[in-house]
């Protein structure tokens, strides 16, 4: 039982380190390999840990972090100066339609509405 518990603690520490790396680098162009290298394991180990503990993949988690940061920035933006695509682009979303669809699925309204309400 001790080995099993220790393995779980190791994976939890790995998950915490991977999440920290993602949060600190969400504004950069990072890949699964970058996340794995940052926590010193294989990409497969990172994928397994995220799937097991969070029921998601590392890149899906990264996308959620980026969406939340874009949402926060849209809420605080000046609609006379800022645009949805400029903010989306800063968070790694290059395709307007895909960003709008993901944003609306996540927050229940188009990003342009959030910006106008800012």
Which residue has 């939340």 as its token pair?
Answer: 68
Model pLDDT, residue 10: 64
Question: Mean pLDDT, 10 residues at a time, over the chain (118 residues)?
Answer: 48 92 96 98 97 97 98 96 96 95 97 92
Which residue has 């307007």 as its token pair?
Answer: 96
Model pLDDT, residue 118: 77
Q: Say if residue 7 is exposed, middle or buried (CB neighbours under 10 Å; 0-12, 13-18, 19+).
A: exposed
Length reported for the chain: 118
C-alpha to C-alpha distance for 94 and 85, rounded to whole angstroms: 8
Which residue has 């029921």 as its token pair?
Answer: 55
Torsion of CA 70, 73, 74, 75, to 10 degrees: 130
Which has the closest alpha carbon to 53: 24, 2, 16? 16
CATH entry, 66-117, from 1.20.1730.10, 3.40.50.880, 1.10.10.60, 3.40.190.10: 1.10.10.60
Model pLDDT, residue 7: 52
The domain spans of the chain are 2-62, 66-117
Model pLDDT, residue 22: 98
Q: Judge whether 63 and 105 are in contact, CB under 8 Å.
A: no
Model pLDDT, residue 2: 36
Q: What is the pTM of this model?
A: 0.87
C-alpha to C-alpha distance for 89 and 98, rounded to whole angstroms: 12
């Amino acid at each position: 039982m001790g080995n099993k518990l220790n393995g779980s603690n190791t994976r939890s520490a790995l998950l915490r380190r991977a999440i920290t790396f993602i949060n600190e680098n969400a504004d950069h162009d990072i890949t699964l390999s970058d996340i794995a290298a940052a926590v010193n394991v294989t990409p497969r180990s990172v994928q397994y840990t995220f799937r097991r503990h969070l029921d998601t993949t590392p890149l899906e988690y990264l996308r959620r972090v980026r969406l939340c940061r874009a949402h926060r920035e849209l809420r605080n933006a000046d609609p006379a100066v800022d645009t949805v695509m400029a903010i989306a682009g800063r968070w790694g979303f290059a395709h307007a339609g895909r960003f709008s669809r993901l944003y609306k699925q996540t927050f229940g309204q188009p990003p342009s509405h959030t910006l106008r309400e800012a």
